[in-house]
Amino acid sequence: MTSSSPSLAPVLEQADRTLDAALERLFTFLRIPSISTQPEHADDCRRAAAWLRDQLDELGFDVTLHATPGHPILVAHDRTPPAGPHVLFYGHYDVQPVDPLNLWDSGPFEPKLVTGTNGAKRIVARGASDDKGQVMTFIEAIRAIRATTGTMPVRISLLIEGEEECGGPSLVPFMDSHRDELRADVGLICDTAMLPGVPAVTTTLRGMLGEEIHLRCASRDLHSGVYGNAARNPAELLCGILSSIRDGETGRVVLPGFYTGVEEPPAALRARWREIAPDDATFLGEVGLSVPVGEKGYTAIEQTWCRPSFEINGISSGYTGEGFKTVLPGEAVAKVSFRLVAGQDPVHIRQAFCAHVRAMLPADCTVTFTPCGGSTASALPDDAFGLQPTLRALGDEWNTPAVTIGCGGSIPVAGDMQRILGMPALLVGFALDDDRAHSPNEKYELTSFHKGMRSWVRILHAMVRHDG
């Protein structure tokens, strides 16, 4: 790896010297319970957006908080932009709900710096990894550059929303109506993970569609002793219908046309991924598993990074409280999702799924569907603007070659940037797979925060020389 250039060294030293102050600012941000899915936290979401506005205003940006039908969208532009490439940074200030609260070791919005079992320090709070800690790596990089040189190496704009964790309903209409203002040479998204000790740019993302199913049989809950065996049980029926979506032998989804347009991953890419995860236990071991259960013929990492899937995310029916109640439920509800790869059409798959459920519905039963969002997959070519300089910059900071990886999750804004703004999006994140995003005791390694700041300093300087 190459050493820091003379112009970079003072900025990196500034990031090191001010780490404690940067950490305190992050803690202030983390204390705001900006849960976008819960109406009682709407004021907190506005407070988080306003806090970011003040931070960026202080750093020399013209900032606008745009009202939406949901939570505010922040757009910021450098007041004194230099000539050269223009980058648009995206992140989100909203966070997931904290339930179950009893599984947290400390208050979800009382950030703490703790020492992990490996001796490394980590930041623990809701949003530490997803996405407040990641957003602040970029903002603190700006702060270090401004304090040292006064001028950014490239023209910088920021787009930070507050509805990512609830499906982002306001973002696409906003991007459509502000495309001229938002268009840049490249998008930078910090909402993904790296490998342990190895920096990465995520170049493939799966799309997603979600559906909520309400299946009704009897007109009300029934006494199971009086009606059991004679009355249809919607919980049993729904479980049978959902289990029929995937073939038990091959692991493949059976919906007609589900695999239309799906291509095999290139052999070279599969070989690269085998180097990252040599066996399935390497990938699954951290969560206590070892055997992949998806499509036969694909490794665990391939099943999640480049193959489509169907998952049951939650089922509820009957009595689930303390003690026991002999009830035969009148209704059963499930939340399901499909993760999609390039070539798949979310609209067609939703229609096929609903048709499959209706075809299996017996007499006396009804079903209603509630769509829960949908997005297509996205992929980034090797010659995308800024990709190669970014990989080199990451390698310089982490002292090991950076890699390109896939991600089984869905970040629709990456595809939206390509489709609406006509520009590629580089997904550079410093989270780890064990950060417990969306779960109790979410954390972000202090190393991820510190070296994330330094990485963005290097990347922004590398963007000046973007010719690959």
**293 is a domain residue:** no
- State the pTM of this model: 0.82
Q: Let me know if residue 91 belongs to a domain.
A: yes
Residue 348, burial from CB neighbour count under 10 angstroms (0-12, 13-18, 19+) = middle
Residues 198 and 216 reside in one and the same domain: no
User: Do 57 and 136 fall into the same domain?
Assistant: yes
Residues 429 and 351 in one domain: no
Cα angle at 435 between 158 and 116, to 5 degrees?
Answer: 125
Q: What integer pLDDT is reported at residue 466 of this predicted model?
A: 54
Length of the chain counted residue by residue:
468
Distance CA 72, CA 64 (A): 10
Q: The domain spanning residue 453 has which CATH number?
A: 3.40.630.10
Residue 319 counted as domain residue: yes
Are 115 and 245 found together in one domain? Answer: no
Buried b (16+ CB within 10 A) or exposed e, 57-75: eebebebebeebebbbbbb
In a domain, 267, yes or no: no
Domain annotation covers residue 2: no
The reply to whether 129 and 229 lie within a common domain is no
pLDDT in tens, 110-144: 999 999 988 999 999 999 999 999 999 999 999 99
Q: Are residues 395 and 334 in the same domain?
A: no
How far is Cα 322 from Cα 392, in angstroms, rounded to an integer? 56
User: 24 with 151, same domain?
Assistant: yes
**H/E run at residue 359:** helix 346-359
Q: Look at the block and give the residue holding tokens 């979310």.
A: 346
Q: 423 in a domain, yes or no?
A: yes
User: Mean pLDDT over residues 341-368, rounded?
Assistant: 95
Please tell me whether residues 84 and 143 are part of one structural domain: yes
pLDDT digits (tens, 9 = 90+) for 154-187: 999 999 999 999 888 999 999 999 999 999 999 9
Tell me whether residue 148 is in a domain. yes
In the chain, the percentage of residues whose pLDDT exceeds 70 is: 98
CATH number of domain containing 369 = 3.30.70.360
Q: Are residues 80 and 196 in the same domain?
A: yes
Q: Nearest to residue 333, comparing CAs of 303, 356, 313?
A: 313
In a domain, 1, yes or no: no
Residues 78/149, Cβ–Cβ less than 8 Å: no
| Burial of 164 from C-beta contacts in 10 A (0-12 / 13-18 / 19+) | buried
How many domains would you assign to the chain?
Answer: 2
- The verdict on 350 and 433 lying in the same domain is no
Query: Is the model's pLDDT at 151 over the cut of 90?
Result: yes
- Domain span at residue 349 reads 207-262+308-375
Per the prediction, the chain carries an average pLDDT of 94
